[in-house]
């Protein structure tokens, strides 16, 4: 650590023409990004009635099942509702394209052929592009003009482990870790400006790029909520649940008279 004693003198011009511009440009790009994303956002897709019906059909049986062990509904009504639902699920009445034809094998729908799913993916990718392009341009700009610049000295000592974080782009083994290189300054801003954006733009801003950086559009189901579901299969599975609930069914009015009579002391418990 002998080299750390040697003091470096930074030209104030670097502060005025490199440090401040990089920071300012990054803030402005973030704000710009926020508004571009707002412009790109399309209103939620309107769904035709059959699609809503299909999506909500499962809810019916869930509501019915929820109270089945102490149901408010008398047995005859419960059975008729339950069996109607079961039959409808079996026959596929609730499917948005009507009951399936007998000969076509059921396969998961291809997301690329369904225009609705495509739309969802496109809007996700547009947002990604808005994030990626300016960051790439910015990084290129810094790499091209300010490669190897030392911008500031942190006012506190750090261990050697921070060297790769703070001095990216400068291959010197001996320089004090407190000096920060231009590329590292870019990364510090990239990950650290979110707090500032929150102050300027409010809580749910889309200026912060580091969040989207973590997830690519193809990296798992969390990013694609429009994952098409095979409702036919779900309905078939729900039939078993309905049967189970029917076995557990109990009407809460079944011996309500005993409860009432006991409550008022007409019957001994």
Partner 1 sequence: MSASLSEALQKLANYRSKNSRESLRVFELGAPLLSNDKWMKQKGDGADSYTWLEQLALAAIDVGRTGVADKCIEILSAKFPESPRVDCLAGIYIEATESPEAALRYYQNLLEKDESNAAAWKRQISALRHLGKLDVAVDELSKFLDTYYTDLEGWLELADIYSTCGRYDHALESLQHAMLLAPQNPFYVLQAAETGYTLGDLPLAIKFFMTVVDMTTSDEEEKAGDSVPDGITLRAWFGVKQCTRGLLQDVRGTAYSNTKSRVSPPTAAHLALLDELSTERLLTAYSTSTSSTAKGICGRDALVRWLEGK
Residues near partner 1 (CB under 8 A) are 46-49, 52-53, 56-57, 59-60, 63-64, 67, 71-77, 81, 252-253, 256-261, 263-267
- Rounded Cα distance between 232 and 70, Å, is 29
Q: Give the nearer residue to partner 1 in terms of CB position, either 187 or 251.
A: 251
Q: Give the nearer residue to partner 1 in terms of CB position, either 49 or 101.
A: 49
H-run or E-run covering 143: helix 115-145
Which of 210, 168, 169, 216 is CA-nearest to residue 192? 210
Residue 242: CB atoms within 10 A of its CB come to: 21
CB of 57 to partner 1, least distance (A): 8
Which of 182, 88, 78 is CA-nearest to residue 139? 182
Contacts of 126 (CB under 8 A, 6+ apart): 40
- Provide the token pair at 186: 């870019």
CB of 66 to partner 1, least distance (A): 8
CB of 269 to partner 1, least distance (A): 11
Q: Give the nearer residue to partner 1 in terms of CB position, either 4 or 41.
A: 41
CB of 78 to partner 1, least distance (A): 8
Q: Give the nearer residue to partner 1 in terms of CB position, either 82 or 206.
A: 82
């Amino acid at each position: 650590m002998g080299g750390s004693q040697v003091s470096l003198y930074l030209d104030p011009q670097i502060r005025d023409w490199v440090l401040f511009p990089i920071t300012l440009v990054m803030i402005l790009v973030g704000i710009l990004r926020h508004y571009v994303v707002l412009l790109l956002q399309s209103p939620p897709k309107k769904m035709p009635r059959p699609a809503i019906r299909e999506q909500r059909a499962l809810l019916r049986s869930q509501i019915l099942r929820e109270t089945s062990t102490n149901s408010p509904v008398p047995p005859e009504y419960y059975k008729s509702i339950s069996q109607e639902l079961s039959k409808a699920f079996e026959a596929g009445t609730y499917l948005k394209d009507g009951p399936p034809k007998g000969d076509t094998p059921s396969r998961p729908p291809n997301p690329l052929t369904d225009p609705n799913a495509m739309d969802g993916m496109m809007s996700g990718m547009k947002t990604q592009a808005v994030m990626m392009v300016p960051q790439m341009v910015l990084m290129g700009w810094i790499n091209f003009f300010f490669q190897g610049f030392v911008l500031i000295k942190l006012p506190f000592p750090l261990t050697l482990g921070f060297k790769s974080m703070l001095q990216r782009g400068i291959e010197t083994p001996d320089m004090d870790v407190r000096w920060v290189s231009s590329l590292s300054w870019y990364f510090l801003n990239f990950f650290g400006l979110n707090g500032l954006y929150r102050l300027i733009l409010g809580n749910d801003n889309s200026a912060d790029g580091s969040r989207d950086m973590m997830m690519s559009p193809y990296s798992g189901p969390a990013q694609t909520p429009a994952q098409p579901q095979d409702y036919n299969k779900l309905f078939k599975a729900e039939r078993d649940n309905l049967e189970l609930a029917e076995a557990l069914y109990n009407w809460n009015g079944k011996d309500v008279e005993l409860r009432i009579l006991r409550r008022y002391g007409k019957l001994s418990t």
